[in-house]
Every structure is written in structure tokens, then in C-alpha cells.
Structure 1
Amino acid sequence: MSGTRLLRVLGAAFAVAAVVGGTIGQGILRTPGLVAAAVPDAELMLLLWLAGGVIAAIDACSTVELATSIGEAGGPYAFVRRAFGPVAGLAAGLADWLGNLGAVAFIAVVFAEYLGRLGADGGLPIPVVAVLLIAAMLAVQWTGTRAAAAAQEVGSAIKAVLFLALIAALAFARGDTVAAEPVTGGAITLVAAIGAFRAIYGTYYGWNGAAYFAEELRNPRQLVRGTFIGIALVTAVFVGLNAAMLHVLTPAEMAKSTLVAADAAGRVLGARADAAMTVVSLVSLATILGVLLMFLPRILFAIGRRFDLRALAGVAEGGTPRAALVATAIGGALLALVGVAVNAAAIVVRRREPALDRPWRMPLYPWPALVSGAINLALAIAFIVEDPWTSALAIGVMALLLALIVPLLRSGTRG
């Protein structure tokens, strides 16, 4: 290990790649069917997808202000700790790390399944392919931050091109491939519309990817540009893909589909659709996994540095927190929500530290934080009501972890 400082070697291109690569994935291929079932009106569907991007941008105001002001790795961990103290910060950091960790294993398994569909898995069992994928990702990042960032930028660019190609293929479809029925109509209730928006907003999850690298971006403005440009690009892809799918499928047909993009592509591309969508899925999954395996170690690294856990706080010469990377690559999973705490942290830090240098300030303060905080809180409450047992389990595990780790605050923390 060469020290405990990450390297400032990342730029705006990586910030955009972190947002695009971490957000556009399997969700946009499946969620439109759920939305169409709840809201069988083409115009309203597109408005809801656009609203999802707008809300993501509003939600980003808190995160971007905090990330550029505090300038530390760890994302929500750093923000909540600065606003509410080390215990709250530790809770947010652990929740964030554990909540996203399960996605690493899940994405790797799904990637292995899709690779098998192409016959490119070498006949190996799915778990073996999944482990090899994670090992390959770990190997790339082991070499250093620059190499990992370059791989993410290339992967995200390829993903964007593939989705734009899919949009173009659907949008310019002609003849008997276009939707044969009107694309509007059907009864819509407020409850259904709210449910549809929840599904949509979940698809936008990942927009905060650049914030985890605040300590490694060469200029705070790069984080600002990267986050908002990334959200704009993701919104354009999501709205554009839905509009293109509505060109070849009716809302009723979309509602019956479990993988709308594949069905839409099948109508236009015929037998070639399965292979094409499998490739799109593979690239999408790989880039999301790449972002996860880059930002999750930064959370552990930030916690380890704060609590003098040197095994986690070490940084290799290339800028990679290798111990934290390995811990993340072999970890487990929990579900957790930390968005509300981040929105509240933006307000608390603004009031508590008015003189803090803020390279970027959220417009119309404090309304973006209040609005997005209310939305995040409503989504969290809805999840608890719908799945109380899972919620109770997650809260119980978090309480146990805190009970075991909080004593470190008395002996290991530097304040």
C-alpha cells in the first residue's frame, strides 16, 4: 500500500460514464411493461418517464452540493457523517454498502445466464461464470483507478450507442411492424399512476454514481457537469426508448410483456432480435457491475479511514483501495434506503457550516432537498408497507451491525 489518499485522476467523462453506466440497465428493458399495465396511455407514460428524469435532477441537487463542498469519497456516508455525526454516518454507509452489495452477485449471475444464451459460456456452470466475471472486473480495477475509469468510459459509450441503435431501429420501423391500434385510452387511477412512477423512479436509480468519486475528480465542476449531463442522457434514452417502443407496440401489448424491449425488437428484427437484445443486456450488466465494483469499495475505504481501520483504508500506488475492493467483491447483500438522509444532510450542513466553500450550490434552496426528500420518504414508507417482513429484517440487521461496530467510535475515530 502506498498510503490512504485516493488519486485525483478522474475527469468529467468518467463522471458521465458513472451515471450512464450505473443507471441504464435491465430496468428500462422490463419496467415499461409494468408502467403500461398501470397507465395505458402513451402520452401519460412518456410524461411519467420524463418526470422521473426531472425528479432525479432535483434529487441530485442535494448530492451534488454536498459532494462538491465536502470533497470526500464515500457518497452518502461522508454527507450524513458531516451533518449528523459519526454514528449516523456509519449507519448510512453500512446501509448503502450492504444495500448495493447484493446487486454485485445478482448482476454477475444474470450476466452468466445471458452469456449462456449466446453459447459463449464454455459450458461452465452459471455460478462459476459469475465468479469469473467478478474476478475479471476485480483484476481490471486492481491495476489502478485510471484503467478502471477508462474501461468504464468505453463500456458506457458502447452501451449508449447500442441503446441509440435500438431506438433508431424501432423509431424508423415501417409497414406491418408499427402499432396497429391507437396508443391512447384506458382507465387510469391515481393509485396506479403513483405505482407506475415508483417503478419508473426505481429505474433511474444510479444517477448518483459520480458522487462517490468526489475525492478523485480533478475539479468539483466536473462532478456537477458529469452528474447533470449524465441524468440528461439517461432521461433522453429512457423517454426515447419508450417512444420508440410505442411506435411498434400498443400500451396493451406492452402491458402483457415481461421484457418489452425484446418483444418490440422482435417485431422489427425478427429472428435476430434475441441475439441483439442479449448483447445489449450483456453490455448493460457489465457496465453496471463495473460502477458497483468501483464505488462500493470507496464506501468501505472512507469508513476505514475515519475509524483507523488500516486494512480497509490502504490505497495502492495506482489509486485503488484494494482491501476494500476485495471485501466488496466477496460480500453479501441487504436492502437499504439512504436518500432521505442525504437530502436532510444537505440542509443541515448548509445551516451548520454556512462558511463552507461550496463550488456549486443547489438552485432554489432548500426546495430541491425538501421535494426530493419527501419523495424518497414516501417511497421508503411504501416499501415498508408493502413488504414489512423484509423491512423489519433489514432494520434488525442494521441495528445489530451498529451495536457491534459503534464501540469503535470511542477508540478508533479521529472525530
Structure 2
Amino acid sequence: MSGTRLLRVLGAAFAVAAVVGGTIGQGILRTPGLVAAAVPDATLILALWLVGGAIAAVDACSTVELGASTGEAGGPFAFVRRAFGPVAGLAAGLADWLGNLGAVAFIAVVFAEYLGRLKIDGGLPIPVLSVLLIAIMFALQWRGTKSAARAQEAGSALKAVLFMGLIAVLAFARGEPQGPAAASPSGVITLAAGIAALRAVYGTYYGWNSAAYFAEELRNPRGLVRGTFVGIALVTAVFVGLNAAMLHVLTPAQMAGSTLVAADAAGRVMGARADTGMTVVSLVSLVTILGVMLMFLPRILFAMGRSFGVERLAGVAEGGTPRAALAATAIGGALLALVGVYETLLAFSAVLLAMVGVAVNLAAIVLRRREPTLERPWKMPLFPLPAIFSALVNTALVVAFVVEDPVTSLSAIAAMAVLLAVIVPLLRRHARG
């Protein structure tokens, strides 16, 4: 280990790659069917995907201002800790790390399943392939920040090219006639259906904050600003463009309820070759998301370790990698992939991550008032309206998750409270020493 400071070796290109790589994935291939089922009108479908991107951009205002001004690693943990104290920061960091750790395992398992579809799994069981993928990505991260960043930039660029290619193939195909059949059969779209569809759309944009975890490693704080907003713009273009292209081939009624609309649309155009093509797109999407996650999740553990004096987690190798935090993340994800507990964490994570979003929005308001002299390379426009709006949106998500699944949501909140009750005294005892 060479110290407890990360290296400032990342640029705006990596920030863009982190957002694109961490956001565009299986969600956009699956969610359009849910949206079309709730709002079966082509114009409204496209409008919802545009609105989703706009909401993500507004929500990003709080994160970008905080990341650029504090310049600390760890994302929400660092922001919430600075605004509301160590216990609140620990709660945000744990919720963020644990919730996303389940996604690491899930992504690895799905990747292994897709290898099987291409008959290139070597006959190995899915759990073994999942662990092997995590191990390979772990080795790439272990080498250093620069090499991991270059791989992420290349992977995200390839992903963008593949999705643009898919959009072009669908857009230039012979389209379905869009007439009255494209609208809701009843002629009425309820408010509840519209809200449910918008929530699904916004959930697909989750990952837009990926660059913020690397605020301490960006050479220029404005790289976070440019990278995040350019990344969100590119993601929005892909999401809207892909939905427009799918609507060129399929009607909303044909999209509704499909678990993989993009594959259905590609099947109309490419026939039997569509399955192979979409599987390749899915594999690239999954591996780039996993790459981003195995970069930013260790930064959360690293930041918490440094803040609470846990020296082993706070160590940084010469290449800039927080190796102990990386190892803990990779081992945790591999174990979850082996035993399947990741599904529980994924079920728990939705309400906790939405609560973290509220805390970040409020932190932006609190720190603007409490630390008015803090140098802010970028300030959110119309302060505090973007933060207030985003806090209301994230609060509505929390309420929706609790109403839809009170048992899981309340269990997640209770589990986090118990975890904090156990960990906080241990950390205080460790600090006393």
C-alpha cells in the first residue's frame, strides 16, 4: 500500500464512460414492454423516456455540485456524512454498497446465462462462470486505475456503437403502420398507469450518478460536471432513439408485456440472427456495467474505511486501486452469486437507494447554507429548486415502494437500523482504540 489518497488520473472521457457504462444495460432492453403496457400510446411513450432523462439531469444537479465542490470519493456516503454526520453517512454508504453488491452478483449470473445461450460456456455451471467473470474483472481492476479506466472507456464506446447500430437497423426497416391501434384500446390512460410507467423509466436511468464516486480521482472537478451531463444526454438519446426505432417496427400493443422488446423488434427485421445479435449486445452491456460497479463500490468501502479509521480498507496501491476494498467487494459479489442471496439484497435495495437519493438532495441544500464559502466549481441553477424537486421525486419513490411491498421495504429499513446498531458501537470502540 502506498497511502490513503486516490490518484487524480481520470478525465472527463472516463466520467462519460462511467455514466454510459453504468446506465445502459438490460433495463432498456426489458423496461419498454412494461411502459407500453401501462401507457400504450407511441407519442406518450417517447415523451416519458424524454421526461425520464430530464428528471435524471435535474436530480444530477445535487450530486454534481456536491462532488465537484467536496472532491471526495465515495459518492452519497461522502455527501451525507459531510452534511448530516458520520452515522447518517454510514447508513447511506452501507445502503449504497450492499444494494449494489446484490446487483454485482445478479449481473454476473445473467452474463453466465447468456454465455450458455451462445453455447460458449464450456459446459461450466452458471455459479462457476459467474465467479470466473467477477475474478477476471477483479484482476483488471487490481492492475490500477488507469488501465481499468481505459478498459471502461473502450467498453462503453463499444456498447454505444452496438446500440446505435441496433437503432439504425430498426429505423431503416420496413415499419408497422401506426394508426389507431397504437393508442390505448379504451382510449383512456389512467394517472396511476402513467406514474407507474414513469417510475419504471426513471429506474432504467439509474446509474447516471456513477461518475460521482470518482470525484477524488478526476484531474479537474469540471470533468465531473461535463461527464455526468454529457453522459446523461447520450443515455437519453439512446433510450429515446431505441424506443422510437422499436415503435417503427412494432405497435405499442405488440410491445406491451414483452420481457425483451428489443429482441422482438430485432426478430422482425433480422429473423433467426436476432437472438445471437441481441445476446452479444447484452453481454457487452453486462460486462461494462459490472466493470463500473467493481470500480465504484470499492470507493464506497474505501471512503468509509478512511473516515472511520479502518486502515486496511483505506489503503491504496501505487496504481491507485483501493485493493482491500476491491477484494472485499469482489469476494462479497462472488459469494452472493454462488448462494443466490443476491435476490434478497436486490429486493431490499430499492427503498434504501431511494432514501439515499433524498438524503443527497437535502445534503446539497444543507451544505450550501452551512458552508457558503466552500469553493464550488459548478453551482446548480435556480438553487434550491432542482434539489427540492428531486427530493420530492425520490420521496415519492420511497412511498411507492413501501405501499407496493410494505413487508420487504419495512424489513429493509429495519435491517439497516439493526446493522447500524451493531456497527456504530464497534467503530466507536475501534476509534478509541
Do they fold alike, i.e. is TM over 0.5?
Answer: yes
Question: Which of residues 372, 392, 414 is equivalent to 2:390?
Answer: 372
Say yes or no: does 1:86 pair with 2:86: yes
| One-letter code aligned to 2:91 | A
Q: In the alignment, which residue of structure 2 is the partner of 1:397?
A: 415
Say yes or no: does 1:253 pair with 2:251: no
Q: In the alignment, which residue of structure 2 is the partner of 1:358?
A: 376
Deviation at 1:184, TM superposition (A): 3.4
Q: In the alignment, which residue of structure 1 is the partner of 2:365?
A: 347
> Counterparts of 2:177 and 2:138 in 1: how far apart (Å)?
45
Q: Secondary structure at the match of 2:316?
A: coil
Any conservation in 2 of the 1:183–1:250 contact (CA below 8 Å)?
Answer: yes
Q: In the alignment, which residue of structure 2 is the partner of 1:209?
A: 210
Q: In the alignment, which residue of structure 2 is the partner of 1:266?
A: 267
Q: In the alignment, which residue of structure 2 is the partner of 1:133?
A: 133
> Counterparts of 1:185 and 1:265 in 2: how far apart (Å)?
22
> Counterparts of 1:52 and 1:376 in 2: how far apart (Å)?
13
Deviation at 1:142, TM superposition (A): 0.2
| One-letter code aligned to 2:271 | G
After superposition, the C-alpha distances for 1:268-306 in whole angstroms (9 at most, x for unaligned) are 011110000000000000000011100000000000001
Deviation at 1:179, TM superposition (A): 4.3
Structure-to-structure mapping, 1:186-201, within 5 angstroms = 186=184, 187-201=188-202
> Counterparts of 1:383 and 1:366 in 2: how far apart (Å)?
26
> Counterparts of 1:157 and 1:254 in 2: how far apart (Å)?
28
| One-letter code aligned to 2:82 | R
> Counterparts of 2:131 and 2:371 in 1: how far apart (Å)?
45
Q: Secondary structure at the match of 2:318?
A: coil
Deviation at 1:388, TM superposition (A): 1.1
> Counterparts of 1:228 and 1:343 in 2: how far apart (Å)?
17
* Gap regions ≥5 residues in structure 2: 337-341
Deviation at 1:408, TM superposition (A): 4.7
Any conservation in 1 of the 2:182–2:253 contact (CA below 8 Å)?
Answer: no
CA RMSD of superposed structures (Å): 1.3
Any conservation in 2 of the 1:43–1:184 contact (CA below 8 Å)?
Answer: no
> Counterparts of 1:188 and 1:319 in 2: how far apart (Å)?
52
> Counterparts of 1:204 and 1:32 in 2: how far apart (Å)?
13
| One-letter code aligned to 1:201 | Y
Q: In the alignment, which residue of structure 1 is the partner of 2:309?
A: 308
| One-letter code aligned to 1:58 | V
After superposition, the C-alpha distances for 1:316-361 in whole angstroms (9 at most, x for unaligned) are 1100001101111122553122100000000000000000000000
* Gap regions ≥5 residues in structure 1: none
Residues 255 and 81 of structure 1: CA distance in aligned 2, closer, same or farther (over 3 Å) = same
Structure-to-structure mapping, 1:15-414, within 5 angstroms = 15-174=15-174, 178-179=176-177, 182=180, 184-186=182-184, 187-331=188-332, 332=336, 334=345, 335=349, 336-337=352-353, 338-408=356-426, 410-412=428-430
Q: TM-score, normalised by structure 1?
A: 0.97
Any conservation in 2 of the 1:182–1:250 contact (CA below 8 Å)?
Answer: no
> Counterparts of 2:320 and 2:415 in 1: how far apart (Å)?
32
Any conservation in 2 of the 1:343–1:369 contact (CA below 8 Å)?
Answer: yes
Any conservation in 2 of the 1:69–1:356 contact (CA below 8 Å)?
Answer: yes
> Counterparts of 1:172 and 1:161 in 2: how far apart (Å)?
16
Q: TM-score, normalised by structure 2?
A: 0.93
| Percent of aligned positions that are identical | 79
> Counterparts of 1:92 and 1:52 in 2: how far apart (Å)?
24
Paired residues, number: 412
Any conservation in 1 of the 2:17–2:156 contact (CA below 8 Å)?
Answer: yes
Any conservation in 1 of the 2:176–2:248 contact (CA below 8 Å)?
Answer: yes
After superposition, the C-alpha distances for 1:98-126 in whole angstroms (9 at most, x for unaligned) are 11110000000000000110111111000
